[in-house]
Amino acid sequence: MRAVLRDPQPGDDAARATGTWLKPGVPYDVLEVRAEPGRLVHFRIASEQSGTPALFDSALFDTVDGTIPPHWRARLAPGGTFTLGPEEWSAPGFWDAYFDDDPEAVATYEAGRAER
């Protein structure tokens, strides 16, 4: 799945929401889709500069390739959070471990990202 950040329009929050992480008009791999009850739908996309994955409002993007990778799985967690992405990434505490630089979580992230 790939999406392009739209060019910011006057009054649009796209530039503020993405900062210098992403550039308008550039196609990005969507690494995961996340939806929480009563909140926005987010795309997890890696920064062009650092490679760090972050969540961005999906409404700021146009999908240019809607193909869902065959290894992605849908998961509905307790509380209603829905994720669509590599199954291992939806394990409770995965993202906390990743951002704490847990070597196993980092390796799991890299494996899931490479499987595209």
> Which is it for the CA torsion 3, 39, 84, 101, positive or negative?
positive
Question: Could you tell me the residue ranges of all domains in the chain?
Answer: 2-114
Chain centroid to CA 70: 17
Neighbouring-strand partners of residue 83: 34, 75
Q: Quick one: pLDDT at residue 21? A: 76
Whole-model pTM: value is 0.86
Helix (H, G, I), strand (E, B) or coil at 15: helix
One digit per residue, the tens of pLDDT, for the chain of length 116 reads 999 988 766 666 555 556 667 888 889 999 999 999 998 899 999 987 778 999 999 998 999 999 999 999 999 988 899 999 999 999 999 999 999 999 999 999 999 998 87
Please give the full DSSP string across 36-69, using - where no structure is assigned.
Answer: -TTS-EEEEEE-TTT--EEEEEGGGEEEEE-PPP
Q: Quick one: pLDDT at residue 16? A: 56
Q: Quick one: pLDDT at residue 64? A: 95
